[in-house]
Amino acid sequence: MPAVVSSALADELAVLGEFDAGACMNCGVCTAVCPLGLDLLPRRLLRHAVLGMTERVQEESEAVFSCLLCRACEANCPAGVHIAEDVRLLRRWLLGKWEEAH
């Protein structure tokens, strides 16, 4: 199924807190310094969230919950994105979706 882009995720995240990944310039520094070495985390994950690709983000929940919240990415982000807090918000959003479904 093709990915769907929507503003719904941004609206739902805004209810949970300040999701500031919209400031991301997609430079990739965060992914380069992340100790987990995942291609997805955090740059692509944030991009999918900003674009409102809800199904994609749900498919990527393992990466969301694998983040160490170490903030190495944040310390090097030229846009000052609060990446760890954004990951926390995505976790809360994913848990809410899980609760809705069970």
Residue 85 Cβ, how far from ligand SF4 at the closest point, in Å? 10
Determine, following the binding rule CB under 6 A, whether residue 51 of this chain makes contact with ligand SF4: no
Contact with ligand SF4 (CB under 6 A) among 10, 51, 84, 94:
84
**For residue 41, is it left (φ>0), alpha (ψ between -120 and 50) or beta?**
beta
Count of H-run helices and E-run strands, the chain = 7, 0
Stretch that binds ligand SF4, among 2-10, 51-59, 79-87, 89-97 (CB under 6 A): 79-87
Contact with ligand SF4 (CB under 6 A) among 81, 82, 89, 90:
81
Stretch that binds ligand SF4, among 4-12, 39-47, 52-60, 90-98 (CB under 6 A): 39-47
Residue 14: partners with Cβ closer than 8 Å, 6 or more residues away: none
Task: Please give the full DSSP string across 42-81, using - where no structure is assigned.
Answer: THHHHHHHHTT-HHHHHHTHHHHHH-----HHHHH-TT--
What part of residues 7-36 is at the interface with ligand SF4 (CB under 6 A)?
A: 24-30, 34-36
